[in-house]
Structure 1
Amino acid sequence: MESVRNERSVYLNGAFVPESRALLSFRDSGFVYGDAVFDTARTFDGRLFRLKEHVDRLFDSLAYCRIAIDLDRQDIIDATEELVRRNRPLLAPGEDYWVSQRISRGVMQLDGEPPIQDGPTVLIECTPLPLRARAAMFRDGIEAVIAPLKRIPPEALSPNAKINNYMNAMLAQREVTAVRPGAWALQLDMNGNLAEGIGCNVFFVRNGKVQTPRTDYILPGVTRGAVIDLCRNNGIPVEERDIPLHLATTASESFFTSTSLCVCPVRSLNGRPYLGSAGPVTKRIMGLFADLVGMDYAAQYLSFLRDGPTRTGF
């Protein structure tokens, strides 16, 4: 293995190499067409959380996109765990990693040209979580704004596959950022119901019941699933249903779930405030999730609180 002192490694097509030496062809279909899938787990105190569930979803996305790789689930799990082991010493105190597997169909072959690469491109990489940029969200809650662009309908592209082409979501976020810097975009489905945030799922609390959109129009997040299980196992009423705008705006609480955020309160939707920075049900679920992962993740974010703008990272 090549190594460069104080530089993170990546796994690329069977080898661990320094990030600066991980080279991809500009003819790779992931770059040319967005013809690729990915999934992302995170670490807690350097330990991966629910990696198997993330890898299972990755292989579901591969099957949907008809990308076949020569590695099985355990191969990806083993390579991911080894990469984290190699990169863990480079984490700054108190930090953790986003850990992503990114797989494209590979290099596009031109008519009559010799092949540059055989088969898909398989990349696994680690990126420090954006703890500083998002720390204030755990003090103040997230400001959510409904974007003018709706979620791509499932008749055009399944929302259940985690694919590289995020243009719909990125444009939605940029439309919101242009008018409310630091706010997080929420998208509606084609029926006008709440779908999901950019890179996250959304929950609402109304009359003590936790409600979240059905999976027909969203990517069902691993953290979302963990929160639904926590509610069911701890006597918190929870249901998956269509969420019309009226329900969302008359709820008493709201929170986002994602791999990086875990569970984070939403303070307002389109300027309409919820119960402070976090209501009682949200606080309880945050505590249950912290127990599940064995770490006070909100305190981790708050330890990086600093002056400066809040940024979503999208």
Structure 2
Amino acid sequence: MSERFAYVNGEILAETEASVSIRDMGLVYGDSVFDTARTFGGILFKLAEHVDRLLDSLAYARIDAGMSRAEFIDATERLVAANLPMLRDGEDYWVTIRVTSGLQSFDGEPARNTGATVVIDCIPIPLRARAPFFKHGIEARIAERCRIAPQAISPNAKTNNYLNMILAQKEISAAYPGAWALMPDQNGNLAEGAGCNFFVVKDGEVMTPATEFVLAGVSRQVVSDLCRDLGIPLRETDLPLETALQAQEAFFTSTSLCACPVASLNGHAFSSGVPGPVTQRIMDGFAQVAGMDYVAQYLNFLSDSVPGTGL
């Protein structure tokens, strides 16, 4: 069996058999939320935390999933177990739960919407595309397009409408192939990368934008806990570009990247190398929490190809 499975509304099906309606509100209006965990060595990491955040997003979007926290966890664990035989050597999965508000209804017709649509799937983490980031660091470039203001849509609700970030990444990719988009907030301070949180290290202190303007990432929280445990000062604060350029180190965090060094920002190279000493301590600590040398996993797939975000 070489085809992966997906979970759709209570059933685990082969991916080629899994489908949703063209009238699904997630497709029609983007009325949907999601959350993505990952595996390390085939074992799910921080799944409960991802499901808790999914439940928060569902409440924000006013979507009744018709499933409990325990049911989401059980369905996800069963799907990953079904897909483990298809996991290639040295690789791991992104595991995404998506929930939409169900089917669109039409005036004068019987109601079609019988409840939410729940889809869970597994896809390989883009280790090949992202491996160069762990060798050379990430080239970050600030996009002209700002992050959606929290007064419009909370950055802490993970909605399936990623167009804001996708357009920012397309803008940067067109001008700087292989670079990663970093978006400002509506006040001009640095917010978050496309799909990841941003940190700088200045004079031994780690700084990161506050969750008023950025997603409270699960990996971001791992780093926060590590800084506390390692005695590294951490501050959530507005992060102007000038402050970031005065830093000696920078890194991104995300579910797949964990913690990954940023080599430069808008062409300005950070002075402490790739990775800098504080970033290295955090990366080492993250590997211990994950129970796996994730950097070595990435570097095992290193090639001379142009890096890519996978977005």
Which TM-score band (shorter chain)? over 0.9
CA-to-partner distance for each residue in 1:96-145, whole Å, 9 max, x for gaps?
00000000011101123344451110000000000000000000000000
For 1:45, the equivalent position in structure 2 comes to 41
**Hey, what's the Cα distance between the residues in 1 that align with 2:116 and 2:200?**
40
Does residue 219 (structure 1) correspond to residue 187 (structure 2)? The answer is no
1:1-314 to 2 correspondence within 5 Å?
A: 5-274=1-270, 275-314=272-311
**Hey, what's the Cα distance between the residues in 1 that align with 2:210 and 2:74?**
33
| Alignment-mate amino acid for residue 72 of structure 1 | S
**Hey, what's the Cα distance between the residues in 1 that align with 2:65 and 2:211?**
27
| Alignment-mate amino acid for residue 306 of structure 1 | S
Pairwise CA distance, 1:176? 0.6
| Alignment-mate amino acid for residue 309 of structure 2 | T
**Hey, what's the Cα distance between the residues in 1 that align with 2:2 and 2:137?**
35
SS of the counterpart of 1:196? Answer: strand
CA-to-partner distance for each residue in 1:246-266, whole Å, 9 max, x for gaps?
111110000000000000000
SS of the counterpart of 1:136? Answer: helix
Q: Which runs of 4+ in 1 moved over 6 A?
A: none
TM-score with structure 2 setting the length? 0.98
CA-to-partner distance for each residue in 1:240-283, whole Å, 9 max, x for gaps?
11111111111000000000000000000000001222100001
Cα RMSD of the aligned pairs, angstroms, is 0.8
| Alignment-mate amino acid for residue 104 of structure 2 | M
Structure 1 regions of 5+ residues with no counterpart? none
Identity rate, percent: 58
CA-to-partner distance for each residue in 1:165-209, whole Å, 9 max, x for gaps?
111111111111111011000001111111000000000000000
CA-to-partner distance for each residue in 1:29-80, whole Å, 9 max, x for gaps?
1111111000000000000011000000000000000001211000000000
TM-score with structure 1 setting the length? 0.97
**Hey, what's the Cα distance between the residues in 2 that align with 1:6 and 1:117?**
34
**Hey, what's the Cα distance between the residues in 2 that align with 1:245 and 1:234?**
27
**Hey, what's the Cα distance between the residues in 1 that align with 2:160 and 2:278?**
34
CA-to-partner distance for each residue in 1:188-242, whole Å, 9 max, x for gaps?
1111111000000000000000110000000110000010010001111111111
Count of aligned pairs = 310
**Hey, what's the Cα distance between the residues in 2 that align with 1:26 and 1:307?**
41
**Hey, what's the Cα distance between the residues in 1 that align with 2:239 and 2:308?**
26
**Hey, what's the Cα distance between the residues in 2 that align with 1:258 and 1:45?**
17
| Alignment-mate amino acid for residue 102 of structure 2 | G
**Hey, what's the Cα distance between the residues in 1 that align with 2:303 and 2:182?**
26
Structure 2 regions of 5+ residues with no counterpart? none
**Hey, what's the Cα distance between the residues in 1 that align with 2:20 and 2:153?**
26
